[in-house]
Structure 1
Amino acid sequence: MEFLFQLLFSPLPTPAVISLLALAAATLFYLNTRPTPLRAPADLKCQTLGIKDGARKVALLKDNNNLLAYYYNDAKTIYEVFQRGLKVSEHTEGFDAAAQLQRTVAEMVITQTASRWQQSKGDQPGPCNGPCLGYRKAGRPYQWLRYKQVSDRAEHLGSGLLQRGLKPTPDTFIGIFAQNRPEWIIGELACYTYSMVAVPLYDTLGPEALVFIIEQADISTVLCDNQKKVEILLQNREKGQTPALKTVVVMDPFESDLAVRGAKCGVDVLAMQDVEAAGKSDLQKPVPPKPEDLSIVCFTSGTTGNPKGAMLTHENVVADAAGVLKTFETSIVPNTEDVTISFLPLAHMFERVVQTVVYGAGARVGFFQGDIRLLPDDMKTLRPTIFPVVPRLLNRVYDKVQSGATTAFKKWLLNFAAQRKMAEVREGVVRNNSVWDKLIFRKVQESLGGRVRVMVTGAAPISPSVLDFLRALLGCQIFEAYGQTECTAGCTFTMPGDATSGHVGVPLPCNVVKLVDVEEMNYFSSNGEGEVCIKGTNVFKGYLKDPEKTAEALDTDGWLHTGDIGKWLPSGVLKIIDRKKNIFKLAQGEYIAPEKIENVYVRSAPVAQVFVHGDSLQAFLVAVVVPDPEVLPGFAKNLGFQGSVEELCKNKEIKKAVLSDMIGLGKEAGLKSFEQVKDVYLHPEQFTIENGLLTPTLKAKRAELKSFFHLQIDQLYAQ
């Protein structure tokens, strides 16, 4: 110490002293700026614990821990979750002051504008509390409804519905037939404020399924967003269908003759603002639900037959959200500064659970404009911090980045930067301020708003290579979830700090998972393989008025049978390897799971979508392939061909090249020879919800695809 003192305080600093000071300064700078690795909530080498009957639970739950039913003591129903958000949204201490000031100034402008607008309508703005629901028009900033405004409007709407003769009980079902928007949430919250049940109606359901749901749930009141949807409902009513339907409440302005048309067939068509005004003048005291009460009946779209109405309680939804929050606990704590963008359908439980997490934290939800093509502009304007996605969107981001590297040097540099960042991710370091971010990845990150810190992907499998690349590229935590409507949304979730891919994580703290034998497919639980079965506080109560299908899904011990085949990996995580449903035999007796094969082939760069077909009368498989319109021209150019997508799809040489690429990927993935397709048909138009070839959850409608392409399939086999 004396030596150091003399060095530092000698009258004439020597070069040695200067060097020492420089080294000390550099060391202090490094220690203060080095990225901090994430703290995993459990040992990543042993993420699950075995319990009785061969089931497993997440290692977060120690020996005596019960399955979670809620996260916050004061929020055990969805209604209470929102009320908690209202309270905590007023407190924003402890956050970045500059960001807070910037946000406050922006919101003052918005609030003053909203105030003038409301005063012109004779309505005063609610108390000053946290912003809740955001919306925008093209080219304009987001406007925000605050938590108290949303809560008050829900009470007004609910009171107005009660005036129409509805009863505040879990036996009262209210249909919501609208695209994502603030009024959707206000309508849902109105139901929960008075213990009623929300029944989402898909935008994209055909008229037959729409009629089935309204009749199955005995719905007398539907909240609609626009005149077009009202006309669909009235048209069904005029045909003598949906006799229980008595009231349609419309969010947007509508023509007066629509009410006249409704009256002729016994349906009152009312403006939502009028129902709210009536409820405000005769406000009813809230009748909050209990955790065990039904909250929502979510009709699963299904690939065949009529939809099935999954009955979910308040506890189911709150427990699933609690499981996610518990998993986040050590690395991500949602707070009032968080913002999520709502573009995935509100009619699906994935989006519902995400928003439950957001509202409980007093955070914000900004809605997209309603056109998926404008989503990039909405992202840049909203700048979300929480981004729920589906693999299809992430695949587009991946393909766009890869195709943007147009030279060999650019491709090398892109992949080198991704490898350097991925090395950090594997060490638990997740950041967006490295030299690679500033030089290579900033533009892509800014295209998503530049502030995303959490992404959750679900609803379908994602390629491990795509997930690895995007974890490096985007500089945020990306979690993969697995589940289905019948377990509310998710039942497994990847842990913070786990940078491995190719699996769906571990059971949420609200459920346990076991694998059961599937003898006909040679999967046995003794080998750590079998059908994935779930039990917990997030598992649904059954299908509405359908005991037969309920018995197929839920066994007598309360285990939900998913139909998916899983495998436990050495670290205790679950990998989905096959599908029990949608399997068929080839002529030689071999079982085929087409979805497993499709998940391999879709990784081919020129392939955007693929439908694998086979049946017991044929000895081999064929496929319909939709090429990626952004990748195909470059792919064809390398082969010496040019033209429109339609022209390229007819080119036999390009078809051979696409098939060859698919076969190569199949070999790498270990597909058996009988699992490889022998020929393909290139189709230039995407499978979409609108053309009836995808379900609203973006799953292939196999029966419809088979029917639509039967001529092409017959030709493939004939050749």
Structure 2
Amino acid sequence: MAAASKFAYLPVPLPADANYKKQCVEVPGTKRPGQTAHYRSSLHPFVTLKTPNVFTNLLEIFDEGYRRSKGGPFLGHRPVISTEPLKYANYHVWQTWPEVDARRRALGSALHKLFQEGTLGGGDLPTVGIWSKNCPNWQVVDLSLQAYGKVGVSLYDTLGKDSVGAFSINHAELTVIFATPAHIPALLKLAPKCPTLKLVVAMDDLTAQTKSVLSAWGETAGVQIKEQSELEELGRANLIPVLPATSEQIATICYTSGTTGQPKGVVLTHGSLAQAAHGYMYQFQLDNETTLMSFLPLAHIYQRVMELVAIGMGAQIGYTTGDPLQLLEDLAILKPHMFPSVPRVINRIYQSAVATGTAPGIKGALFRRAVATKLYNLRNHGQFHHALYDRLVFRKLAGVLGGRLRIFTSGSAPISANVMDFMKIGILSEVIEGTYGMTENCGSFVRTWSYDPTSSGTVGSPLPNCELKLVDVPSMGYSAEDKPYPRGEICMRGEQRFSYYYKDPKKTAETIDEEGWLHTGDVGALDDSLRLKIIDRVKNIMKLAQGEYVALENIESIYGGSPFVAQLYVHGDGLQSYLIGVAVPDPVQFAGLISRVRGKPVAPEDIGTLSEATKDPQIVAAFLAELQKQAQKHQLKGFEQLKRIHLTLQAFTTENGCLTPTLKIRRKETYEFFKGPLDALYALGEPSRGSTKL
């Protein structure tokens, strides 16, 4: 009889006696001036790579999943049944665990042979690029890299064309990139700027004509074009066993999507990623019958770690079309049990559902009564279900999400407490916020506890393998001694923390201190249950609701270059997906603008007319159009551009608190000063981008 796996105890459920009122414990003797004590989870003993029976590398995760799967289905996708118009099948085609195992061994063996013989490689690390939307082949490539000692480098579109191309390819010294056929022409255009690139592998088979054209183009650029199936065939003819892996071995370089300067290459080891997944196996109740939906980009760490959790549990992963407009159709066809999501998607679900409450007659009244009753029961009695209203009202909403959902997670950006409360009572599934983290800690740090009725608005407490502390930020008035709750910069420590920024020791030293703490740049507070709440940013870089980072001061400086602007404040809210601002117009240019729009001259000294014009929608639109010329000139991305503007002749001054003595904008004070008009701009709702199905 085979011995039981040492990982058989996973997943670990929430203890029956969990004390929701004390979700952290202090590590004795760690309180020091200028910071809180170190906090750990109160649920479980602290876990490290040296703890017995924990995952220490990615091969252990795959092997455990393979054992649990019993040969069942693993990776599924909706095949394309028509290209013109584009149409997907209403079913998934599945590859089994043994089939994927055979493919990863074949592909990994081929890559190892090419690196060993010098056809590929030559840089500091044996790096391999992947540029593709989520699909089974993305996972097959990554699994092969894990199994044969290669370093994956995921490329994604939001880095911008230049970054995806020249910078990332050259910085990571990529000699081979796996790409979808649609991306290959872009890579061949970049090839002259990327001297290391030798091979581009099409992840899907090409037509004979397409391959001939691309190969001829590749020859002129010194780049070979092959199909992934060719490499797998090469590997089957030269098969070698999977290579052992250690926790210290580098598994991937993830490039962050920062908006100032070039992206940073975050170096993550097998141990870091294994520990990230291991931490989430506490409370996430998955098994080999679970289907996880792959919708968020695999190039981002959040989705990647969620899929590692699924792999370790022997689960199934269903890949979507990748089209947000087909999300509801994808959900209806896959019927997932687990759906990692982000606030922007959740807000659309929420808005669509709440619209039902405005329906006339009995239908709208029933919905409003059901929501009010369940919210009252949640907030006052900790109850998530209602026998009558779940059957009459909320079963339909759950059905829109596939009807089988058991775990719904929100991560990557902040979300409103009201929205989270609605989701908790509305979709008949466990709803978890707090896959709060960053690429630098594998997106694995804190999470809310299962069925915590009062956790909305917080991101929970540390996973069993993480430590948390808050450090004073004197310049912003935050202190570990603040009452009623300690506040400060959030710092984390744990073995899912990244090793270093690739080829950038200076930024590494700025981010990881001498005691191994990762300084996140976020400001947090601990509430009366010792749950973490995000309240600010140390630096003026913030994350929008769709997960994109924006550097507010950088954007202000770009727009401030417009002759129409005397002063400008750019405002972002983590619960919103776009930026707004306050501008004090230059009187001369503003007078000229008003004259052109209205067809009659206005003098810069005519303060009454200028003031009145700041409230004229036509003038405001014309002013914003002038600002957009600056955005286009400096190639700001869509999410970096101002979508709405409040015009005022009231200058930012030291007297009204908007400026420091050195004439820098005080961000919190400026927001408070203009809170009314700024909140009114967001109250108008998201600017229209066309219709959606959500």
- TM band (smaller chain): 0.7 to 0.9
Match of residue 577, structure 1, among 535, 558, 575: 535
1:34-45 alignment to 2 at 5 Å?
Answer: 42-45=18-21
Indicate the residue corresponding to 1:76 in structure 2: 56
Instruction: Verify the 8 A CA contact 2:357 2:368 in the aligned structure 1.
Output: no
CA deviations over 1:158-216 (Å, ceiling 9, x no partner): 11112323589992111001110000000001101111111100034322102101111
Instruction: Verify the 8 A CA contact 2:54 2:278 in the aligned structure 1.
Output: no
1:484-563 alignment to 2 at 5 Å?
Answer: 484-500=438-454, 501-527=456-482, 528-563=486-521
Indicate the residue corresponding to 2:350 in structure 1: 398
Alpha-carbon spacing, 1:490–1:275, altered in 2? closer, same or farther (3 Å): same
Instruction: Verify the 8 A CA contact 1:41 1:495 in the aligned structure 2.
Output: no
Alpha-carbon spacing, 1:216–1:614, altered in 2? closer, same or farther (3 Å): farther
Provide the rounded CA distance (Å) in 2 between the counterparts of 1:171 and 1:570.
Answer: 47
Indicate the residue corresponding to 2:247 in structure 1: 291
Instruction: Verify the 8 A CA contact 1:592 1:675 in the aligned structure 2.
Output: no
The aligned amino acid for 2:219 is A
The aligned amino acid for 1:57 is Y
1:161 matched to 2:111? The reply is: yes
- The alignment covers a number of residue pairs equal to 553
Instruction: Verify the 8 A CA contact 1:579 1:593 in the aligned structure 2.
Output: no
Once the 2 structures are TM-superposed, how far is the Cα of residue 370 of structure 1 from its aligned partner? 2.4
Instruction: Verify the 8 A CA contact 1:580 1:593 in the aligned structure 2.
Output: no
Indicate the residue corresponding to 2:75 in structure 1: 133
5+ residue gaps, structure 1 = 1-36, 91-128, 603-608, 619-645, 652-656, 660-669, 689-719
The aligned amino acid for 1:450 is G
Alpha-carbon spacing, 1:41–1:85, altered in 2? closer, same or farther (3 Å): farther
| Aligned-residue RMSD, C-alpha | 3.5
Provide the rounded CA distance (Å) in 2 between the counterparts of 1:219 and 1:301.
Answer: 19
Instruction: Verify the 8 A CA contact 1:70 1:315 in the aligned structure 2.
Output: no
What TM-score, normalized to structure 2? Answer: 0.74
Alpha-carbon spacing, 1:424–1:86, altered in 2? closer, same or farther (3 Å): farther
5+ residue gaps, structure 2 = 1-12, 80-87, 542-551, 561-567, 587-616, 623-643, 647-669
Provide the rounded CA distance (Å) in 2 between the counterparts of 1:232 and 1:131.
Answer: 34
1:579-594 alignment to 2 at 5 Å?
Answer: 579-582=537-540, 594=571
1:428-507 alignment to 2 at 5 Å?
Answer: 429-431=383-385, 434-481=387-434, 482-500=436-454, 501-507=456-462
Instruction: Verify the 8 A CA contact 1:46 1:59 in the aligned structure 2.
Output: no
CA deviations over 1:651-697 (Å, ceiling 9, x no partner): 9xxxxx999xxxxxxxxxx9733444468598985689xxxxxxxxx
1:115-514 alignment to 2 at 5 Å?
Answer: 129-137=71-79, 138-166=88-116, 171-210=125-164, 211-226=166-181, 228-237=182-191, 240-254=192-206, 255=210, 256-326=212-282, 328=283, 332-407=284-359, 410-423=363-376, 425=378, 427=381, 429-431=383-385, 434-481=387-434, 482-500=436-454, 501-514=456-469
Provide the rounded CA distance (Å) in 1 between the counterparts of 2:52 and 2:330.
Answer: 32
Deviates more, 1:465-474 or 1:198-207: 198-207
The aligned amino acid for 1:368 is T
Indicate the residue corresponding to 2:37 in structure 1: 55
SS in 2 for 1:287: coil
Provide the rounded CA distance (Å) in 2 between the counterparts of 1:512 and 1:74.
Answer: 17
Indicate the residue corresponding to 1:613 in structure 2: 581
Alpha-carbon spacing, 1:405–1:515, altered in 2? closer, same or farther (3 Å): same
The aligned amino acid for 2:175 is S
Instruction: Verify the 8 A CA contact 2:524 2:532 in the aligned structure 1.
Output: yes
Alpha-carbon spacing, 1:576–1:494, altered in 2? closer, same or farther (3 Å): same
- Identity rate, percent: 34
The aligned amino acid for 2:137 is E
Once the 2 structures are TM-superposed, how far is the Cα of residue 552 of structure 1 from its aligned partner? 1.6
Provide the rounded CA distance (Å) in 1 between the counterparts of 2:93 and 2:50.
Answer: 32
Once the 2 structures are TM-superposed, how far is the Cα of residue 400 of structure 1 from its aligned partner? 0.6
Once the 2 structures are TM-superposed, how far is the Cα of residue 323 of structure 1 from its aligned partner? 1.4
SS in 1 for 2:347: helix
Alpha-carbon spacing, 1:319–1:404, altered in 2? closer, same or farther (3 Å): same
CA deviations over 1:580-616 (Å, ceiling 9, x no partner): 11178999xxx99944xx247x4xxxxxx44133599
Deviates more, 1:414-423 or 1:519-528: 414-423
Instruction: Verify the 8 A CA contact 1:384 1:451 in the aligned structure 2.
Output: yes
Indicate the residue corresponding to 2:525 in structure 1: 567
Once the 2 structures are TM-superposed, how far is the Cα of residue 284 of structure 1 from its aligned partner? 1.6
SS in 2 for 1:312: strand
CA deviations over 1:469-524 (Å, ceiling 9, x no partner): 11101111111111111111031100113111111100111111111111111001
Indicate the residue corresponding to 1:630 in structure 2: none
